[in-house]
Amino acid sequence: MQYQSQEELKQYREGLIGEFMEEIAKLNKDSFIVKAKLYDIDRFSKKENWNYLSILDVTLIKENIIPILLASDENEDAKKFDNLLYSLQVKRLNHQKTNRIEENISSLVAELEKLGTIPKVVEKQELIIEVAENHYLARAGFFDIEKVRKELRGFIQYIDPFKKTPIDSDFEDKLMEIKEENVHLSSVSDLTNYKKKLKNYFNSNIDNIAIWKIKQNEKINEIEKEDLQRILFEELGTNKDFENEYGNKSVVEVVRNLVGLDPATASEIFSKYINDNRLNMKQIHFVKLLIDYVVENGTIDMIALTEDPFRSVGEVGELFEDNINTFMQIRKDIESINENAKKLA
């Protein structure tokens, strides 16, 4: 039975990939929005590129493709319902608490019981009544949840807007998990930790031109640097707070380390080594780890290449022994990324 279940999940994954690729194929490639993301759209329109998804791949799909696909679907309520049911499935697979999300789904579906004048809704009355009972979802398996999603998603649009349960409830669910599991909460001093405060601020204000440029690997000018210093030394803390935490690091480098490097930018810099077939499988794995690292950390010291996760692939000298010229080019790109996080335009 376990094997059968795994085979069903495998088929389900293949089905989702197929649907995703069909939606990509429908996109208007003459559209300005589509053209801007054409590299990733073309890449993930090929089935072989779905065999292994790195952290970067998942990020690129989330940030560059899914928003375009969602914008092309007019049924906003159905999309939100999909998201709610997918969230429940993922939480189940990860053995997380699902009480709150089950309640939200049941409350939402219960509103469908009131739509007795719509023939198609009446046809699904038996399923609707079952799902409206809280205990149904608690017992439901992965594919039971998928059945609910597919059969009821088209009806959510008919519910009175004022009666709809808030659908974006993942944050609330996490709070419920903390309450139910009696997880130790950080003290007030931990929550106001200087570094956490900076990270929260800068990641919440990516639309600031200086922060945006830093994340995109572009150099900022003196005026933009002064604006960052004002934010750091006046709004979020003092010059002394900054020195105590980061020493002699420049404000630009600190912000880059906090917000990371834009995934599309990192991919553009390093994917050329993968795409022109000059690397073997281990070297490709190394480059993908490198992309993931700079997306997360913004910069990378050369010494880090001798540590995990890179060390797990092999010692750099041996790894690129037959391809040293390519590694020297990779090294120049690393140095350029680091340099752009230190110097002004």
For the chain, the domains span 2-71, 76-181, 190-259, 263-340
Q: Spell out the residues 6+ positions from residue 137 whose beta carbon is closer than 8 angstroms to its own.
A: 88, 98, 102, 105, 106, 131, 145, 148
Among candidate residues 305, 218, 215, the one with its CA nearest the CA of residue 260: 215
User: CA–CA separation, 273 vs 329, rounded Å?
Assistant: 9
pLDDT of residue 258: 93
pLDDT of residue 178 exceeding 90, the answer is no
pLDDT of residue 22 exceeding 70, the answer is yes
Average pLDDT, the chain: 82
Q: Tell me: the pLDDT tens digits for 271-313?
A: 899 887 789 999 999 999 999 999 999 999 888 888 888 988 9
Among candidate residues 241, 193, 195, 82, the one with its CA nearest the CA of residue 146: 82
Question: Distance between alpha carbon 233 and the CA centroid of its chain, in Å?
Answer: 31
pLDDT of residue 287: 93
Among candidate residues 94, 135, 128, the one with its CA nearest the CA of residue 108: 128
User: CA–CA separation, 343 vs 250, rounded Å?
Assistant: 9
CA distances from 209 to 85, 163, 206 (A): 37, 40, 8
> Does the predicted model carry a pTM greater than 0.75?
no
User: CA–CA separation, 3 vs 15, rounded Å?
Assistant: 18
Q: Tell me: the pLDDT tens digits for 256-266?
A: 999 999 999 99
Cβ proximity of 267 and 291 under 8 Å: yes
